[in-house]
Amino acid sequence: MGITEADNSDIGTAQNSAVSSPGKVLVLNFFSELEETRASFYCSPGSRIIDMLNRADDRSQSHNTFLELKDSESNSEIYIRKNTILFVTADDANTGRGFGGEPHYNQYPVVEKVPVKVNVQLNSYRLIGDIYQLNDKTIKATLADNVPFLPLTDVMIVRGTKLICEKPFVAVNKRQIISLKKEPV
């Protein structure tokens, strides 16, 4: 039932290593150009979704290119190449401790950040939501950070001219961003 990253050489063993590690299995939506996949995603204890996607919690497997997931209905294995993911959404938000974090426990230092409303243009989608920046950090510096996924909160997801849905949390793949525009306050 555990979900970890796997590459071509260790796809068969990835699931077994995750089963022994207690954590939380979350159901998320993974969007690509071709489809939306609703699947279970394993989040290790005390980690957040954004950490798992960015691999901040497991540097030993940073070479891996696939996420190993479980179909939320059939429980069959799904492997998604990480760089093809446009964005990942969650239906429930808990920004105080992060998705996958434990209640009343925050292993991350509390850092004062300012919400900035942005309009993110992908090839087929537009995401309108908030990014959180340190007071002295620019949007350009945030985009240049060496992590593949950028967290957004309170996001409207638009395809063409149609509002698809609103989600409390979205992790957008920065490699898929065509443009990002700061919205007027």
Once rounded to an integer, what is the mean pLDDT over residues 4-27?
Answer: 44
- Confidence grade of residue 22 (pLDDT, cut at 50, 70, 90): low
Q: Take residue 56 and report the two structure tokens written for it.
A: 């901040």
Give the per-residue pLDDT at 148: 93
Contacts (Cβ under 8 Å, ≥6 apart) of 56: 50, 147
Is residue 60's pLDDT more than 50?
no
Does domain 113-182 sit in CATH 1.10.150.110? no
CB distance 86 to 31 below 8 Å: yes
Give the per-residue pLDDT at 126: 98
- The per-residue pLDDT for range 167-183, each reduced to its tens digit, is 999 999 999 999 999 99
Cα-based angle 54, 110, 135 (whole degrees, multiple of 5): 85
Q: Max CA-CA distance within the chain?
A: 49
Give the per-residue pLDDT at 105: 53
pTM above 0.85, yes or no: no
Once rounded to an integer, what is the mean pLDDT over residues 26-44?
Answer: 89
Once rounded to an integer, what is the mean pLDDT over residues 105-115?
Answer: 70
Once rounded to an integer, what is the mean pLDDT over residues 35-41?
Answer: 91
Domain boundaries, the chain: 5-90, 113-182
